[in-house]
Amino acid sequence: MADLAMPGRRPVNSNYSSGPCAKRPGWSLEALKDAALGRSHRAKIGKAKLQKAIDLTRSVLGVPADYRIGIVPASDTGAVEMALWSLLGARGVDLLAWESFGEGWVTDVVKQLKLADVRTFTADYGKLPDLGKVDFDRDVVFTWNGTTSGVRVPDGEWIDADRAGLTICDATSAAFAQDLAWSKLDVVTFSWQKVLGGEAAHGMLILSPRAVERLESYKPAWPLPKIFRMTKGGKLIEGIFVGETINTPSMLAVEDYLDALTWAEGLGGFAALEARCDANLGVLADWVAKRDWVDFLAAEPETRSNTSVCLVITDPAVKALDADGQAAFAKGIASALEKAKVAYDIGSYRDAPAGLRIWAGATIEASDLAILTEWLDWAFATQKAGLKQAA
């Protein structure tokens, strides 16, 4: 393989994983020194920290005052599963899927819950399904931002304000980066380890008054495990939404989330976080526009994620390879950058088309992404030279 000159600059932060994501700039373990370690999460100090996490989440995200916010087990997956198993079955369901996690929710509803009245709208990686076909007299389940495809819904205009059904939105890689239309959403879920770079294993479940009404008026036909139960005697268990978690949380992870929220608040809240993500996407978009070997997987500019940026290799010589060859070429780029210690974990998701996936969330600096693009050009040129030699 050709020995091409490496770029002279290196990113300060080389972590571009799409989850767990990079820590905030300047983070260190010292930031967690006040964690309530060795204390009960039900003690005064533990409950106060959990309540503060809920309050800061509401403040930074701009969650309406009458929406409940709960800290739940098992990351975003746990939060989504709680919503699906607790709320669905009261009416027909429309499911939207255009990448692997959305497809996972389809599997759960169709094959596990085995609901009869289900419609599924799907699209290939890089595209959205026809949002105009969704019936909001039914419950609707969708991801706001497809983490594995880099495709997001452009806004909330397609959602009916005067709807009979509930909207259940997996927003794990959209929260804190994209303007969620709160009045159009009844259930919103996300996890700490995405846009704010917190630690994993904890999920956030946000419920509108309409979702609470459903919980208190509808009882699913199937049994619910304790970890999913949000009502008792037909009434919402309010403690879940004031820091009385269903199971024991990690107080170290809670402290880390509090640190990330405090950092976000200091920047200027949601608007500042979104601006950072948009600026990061802008760096990559400007670079892609000037290159003939790479493009966005997201076909339409307005649907391109500003967090999980997915790229495909469009060079004719690479596209002429079979599927295994294209995948090997993309993996070669990711491997070369990891070996050079300038970019970790940028390979595409295992179920997605071959390519690259670069996290551009709020904890990433635009200056680092600009340097990374130089290394991407180097890695591509190196791999391309290797192809020519092999031929």
Q: For residues 149 and 70, give the distance between their C-alpha atoms in angstroms, rounded to a whole number.
A: 28
The residue type at 62: G
* pLDDT for the residue numbered 318: 97
- Whole-prediction pTM: 0.97
- Measured CA to CA, the distance from residue 247 to residue 345 in angstroms comes to 31
CA–CA dist 276, 361 (Å, integer): 8
Query: In this predicted structure, what is the pLDDT of residue 3?
Result: 65
Q: Look at residue 260 in the predicted model and tell me its pLDDT.
A: 98
Question: What per-residue confidence (pLDDT) applies to 389?
Answer: 83
Domain range annotation of the chain: 36-266, 269-390
pLDDT of residue 4: 87
CATH superfamily of 269-390: Aspartate Aminotransferase, domain 1 (3.90.1150.10)
What confidence score (pLDDT) does residue 224 get?
96
Q: What is the DSSP letter of 349?
A: P
> What stretches in the chain show pLDDT beneath 70?
1-3, 391
How many secondary structure helices (H) and strands (E) does the chain include?
Answer: 9, 14
Longest dimension (CA), the chain: 72
- Which of 320, 330, 383 has the alpha carbon at shortest distance from 353? 330
β-partners of residue 96 are: 121
Question: What pLDDT is recorded for position 26?
Answer: 97
pLDDT in tens, 171-212: 999 999 999 999 999 999 999 999 999 999 999 999 999 999
The domain 36-266: what is its CATH number?
Answer: 3.40.640.10
- CA–CA distance from 64 to each of 68, 191, 192, 274 (Å)? 9, 19, 20, 18
pLDDT digits (tens, 9 = 90+) for 56-68: 999 999 999 999 9
